[in-house]
Amino acid sequence: MKAVCRLHFVLLFFVVVLSFMAPANPAANLLTEDEFISNWSITEPITAAAATDQESQQKAFSTEALDLQTLTASATTGELVLNEKSYAWNEIQAATGIVDLVKEFGALEYCYVYAIAHLTSATERNTLFGLGSDDGVKVWLNGELIHENFIGRPVNPDDDLLGVQLQAGENILILKIHNLQRDWGFCLRPLSQNKTSDALARAVNEGNVDDVELLLSYGADPNGMIGPDLTPLHIATIKGRQQIADLLQQSGADPQIPMPEKTKIIEFLFERAIKDNYPGASVLIAQDGRILYENGYGLANIEQAIPIEPRTTFRIGSVTKQFTAAAILKLQEEGKLSVQDKLSTFIPDFPRGDEVRLFHLLTHTSGITTYTDTHDFLDKVTDDITTDQLIEEIKSLGYTFSPGEAWSYCNSGYFLLGYIVEKVSGLTFDAYLMQTFFQPLDMQQTGVYRKGLNLPHEAIGYSFENDSVALALDWNMDFAGGAGNLYSNVEDLYKWNEAVFGGTVLKPASLSAAFAPVVLNNGEQAQAMGGGYGYGWSITNLRGLQCISHGGGLHGFNTALMRLPEKNMTVVVLCNCAPNIPNLNPGQISRDIAEIYHYESMTRQEERRISTTVDTSLYDDYVGKYDYGQAILTVRRSGDRLFAQLTGQAEYEIFPSAPDKFFWKIVDAQIEFVRDENGHIIHGLHTQNGATIKVARIEESQEVAVPVEILQTYVGDYELAPNFILSITLEGEQLYSQATGQSKVEIYAKSETEFFLKVVVASITFVKDANGLVTGLVLDQGSVHIEAPKIK
């Protein structure tokens, strides 16, 4: 329940205590602003549902098997009886305020607990609470449901804001915390004006109008400053949130407060994320051939307390791809190869090598399965490997689509290109790049990373998981090759960008080809990385400005190299932590930096506000599946709510902003459902990071029941290509398929012999001979049509 009046803080210099009464029971709490509620009565974990799919879990989350009065009473007796099973109540005091349910109950999944806290207030009052949860959370206050959010996420304080009215005397707060997978916990606290200012800055940054209005109604200072004297109005201005800027000024925001220096805002971006004894990042910003800012934050080596500096070297991952592409284009300029050459010219026995051209490898349109997605890749990435061995493995993986028919990020293609550079030039990949690019450009801190390499200013790779830092998995970079095996620093990458965009690396025709978004066989531009993809560079739009960039990521390292050609601007951010420290994503920080410097010439962004007038009776129109290329977005309805889930990701609720328009809260993304002349939804327009892609609606097949005796006849191995097998297995009454090196997925019958997948747009048809024996199958996926004999 949202409060209807604004809090007025009279004594701002005193800590506000909502109750001065001593706790009467273990779950009683004295509420102090900004301090987490620490005393809880919590049940033992309760299994949510036998099925682990999102819909079953969400139904279990939404349904209560007992009334709140019975639940509250059971906490007094210490035992909750549910479905004839007993669950003990546990009195838990969270020392840090964040209740770690894994620590309390172990690593359990697909289950939930109830948690009760007693809050005592001397008077009736409106209070704003900040809530964090992993994963879904429901909140009741004094018997009334005030909040519900079924979501997969880590615990972050104040992710959800709850405006509540506390009654005089005792208030009973009940939480239901539903875990999906891995970590599990929650935290809750009343917020002071200082914290509401922090939350206001975040809501403005995200364009969340509803939260901005809520925070202002609870006394958040529209002129409250964070970091380097940065106000909410400054943030709205930088982010192009005009509607929010107007709202802030109507609430008293002062437009005369000067914008902080750009470099001070940049420092704040890094300092808010990087704590003492953390890994960190190096950054360089340049424009018109002049370095505007460079610095290092955090530690390159935690054990030896070595700080990160601009000279610190990092493994740059897939930023390597533009160097590999430039090498191919340089060899083409020298007349030694052509991007039109067939792959079979360089690897004669490569399967379907006559169909693949070098430009397919450069643009991720070859269809070759990427070797880094195989199920055992991380198990062996620290082992020794030769180029020939890895090429043999890539040969065995087959294709996910025919060359030129689709776009899918493919490390296999760039590994092969690295090999081709060596074969054509007669030099090692390292030696060719050194001779052709690094030495002429004075890039003294750039090269191929190898085991045993001892660099003088090297950053060690770390990971951030479970709220702690640890050494990351240390790849043998021979596995990366031309797809990602380089190391560099921000200063060398600045030299590289200046040379590339200054025309001293490649000829104009080569650059034009490299920066041209690839067009598929159907004549349409490939939807790639939020925009287009050329030869080793991503081409996107950042609020009206062309952005040519690439990121890189492997365990321990996350990197970004960006160029805004219209502004002659380079941004380099190199980080030695992956998975990332919160708020330290190099790609996002690079975009933030570009906005800080050039917001005045960028287009405005749409704010996000939940519409209360959208006709929910139309929600069934949106239910279905949408083709995102190598993934499917599944949209489903639950009551008057819509949920969306992309293949391989968690399911999130999407919220209406206008008829046929919805947005995600977890990420700054929107989807508009487009109707034909008859009013039927035919596709969606997905917008994220300033780019919009068209996603076709998939006509779904109807499932039919097939006797298990018939399903059993399909079990076996089918040869899609030499050393590339599709295995069909049966578990109970469910049939599964699993290709060599890939995950096992369910397949569903639409007839006795025809089956389809739900995770990608593909079908399998089993073939029988005249005697009814299964002799093979046919796999159809996009343009791919493979007839595979049964070999076992």
> Which residue is associated with the tokens 């070859």?
366
Q: In what order do the strands lie in the sheet with 784-789?
A: 716-721, 724-731, 734-739, 745-749, 754-756, 763-768, 774-781, 784-789
CA-wise closest residue to 497 among 597, 422, 569: 569
Cα radius of gyration rounded to whole Å, the chain: 28
CA-wise closest residue to 449 among 427, 421, 416, 474: 474
Q: Which two tokens stand for residue 205?
A: 């940054």
Structural domain spans, the chain:
28-191, 195-260, 281-601, 616-698, 708-789
131 three-state secondary structure: strand
Q: What pLDDT score was predicted for residue 742?
A: 76
Q: What are the distances in angstroms from CA 272 to CA 211, 276, 409? A: 22, 11, 32
> Which residue is associated with the tokens 């493979």?
786
Q: What pLDDT score was predicted for residue 166?
A: 94
Q: What pLDDT score was predicted for residue 21?
A: 33
Q: Which two tokens stand for residue 537?
A: 């560079």
Q: Which two tokens stand for residue 120?
A: 């005592």
CA-wise closest residue to 576 among 602, 554, 595, 603: 554
Q: In what order do the strands lie in the sheet with 557-564?
A: 290-297, 281-287, 569-575, 557-564, 545-554, 538-542, 532-533
- Bridge pairing between strands 136-141 and 144-149: antiparallel
Cβ contacts of 439 within 8 Å, gap of 6 or more: none
What is the C-alpha separation between 571 and 154, in angstroms, rounded? 30
The answer to whether residues 731 and 745 touch, using CB atoms and an 8 Å cutoff, is no
Going by the DSSP 8-state scheme, the letter that residue 621 receives in this structure is G
Dmax (CA) of the chain:
89
CATH number for the domain formed by residue range(s) 616-698:
2.40.128.50
- Reply yes or no on domain 281-601 having CATH 3.30.450.40: no
Q: For residue 491, what is the enclosing H or E element?
A: helix 490-501
Structural fold of domain 708-789: Lipocalin (2.40.128)
What is the C-alpha separation between 696 and 685, in angstroms, rounded? 9
The count of C-alpha atoms lying within 13 angstroms of the C-alpha of 57, restricted to the half-sphere facing its C-beta, is 23
Q: What pLDDT score was predicted for residue 782?
A: 65
Residues 195-260: name the CATH superfamily.
Answer: Ankyrin repeat-containing domain (1.25.40.20)
Cβ contacts of 584 within 8 Å, gap of 6 or more: 270, 273, 274, 280, 281, 575, 577
Q: What pLDDT score was predicted for residue 17?
A: 31
Cβ contacts of 568 within 8 Å, gap of 6 or more: 287, 288, 289, 501
CA angle 88–91–94, rounded 5-degree value: 135
What is the C-alpha separation between 174 and 164, in angstroms, rounded? 13
298-331 core/surface letters (b: 16 or more CB in 10 A; e: else) = bbbbbeeeeebbbbbbbbbbbbbbbbbbbbbbbb
- Identity of the residue numbered 386: T
What is the C-alpha separation between 229 and 265, in angstroms, rounded? 9
The answer to whether residues 364 and 550 touch, using CB atoms and an 8 Å cutoff, is no
Q: Is 533 left (phi over 0), alpha (psi -120 to 50) or beta?
A: beta
The answer to whether residues 643 and 653 touch, using CB atoms and an 8 Å cutoff, is yes
The answer to whether residues 111 and 47 touch, using CB atoms and an 8 Å cutoff, is yes
Integer distance in angstroms from the first to the last C-alpha of the chain? 62
Backbone angles phi, psi at 391, to 5 degrees: -65, -40
CATH class of residue range 28-191: mainly beta
Residue 620, Cβ density class (10 Å: 0-12 exposed, 13-18 middle, ≥19 buried): exposed
For 482-518, the pLDDT digits (tens) are: 999 999 999 999 999 999 999 999 999 999 999 999 9
What is the C-alpha separation between 82 and 354, in angstroms, rounded? 64
In order, the DSSP letters of 246-292 are: HHHHHTT--TTSPPPPHHHHHHHHHHTT--TT-B-EEEEEEETTEEE
Two domains, one topology: 28-191 and 281-601? no
CA-wise closest residue to 56 among 167, 191, 180, 188: 180
Which stretches of the chain drop beneath a pLDDT of 50? 1-24
What is the C-alpha separation between 135 and 155, in angstroms, rounded? 8
The answer to whether residues 711 and 746 touch, using CB atoms and an 8 Å cutoff, is no
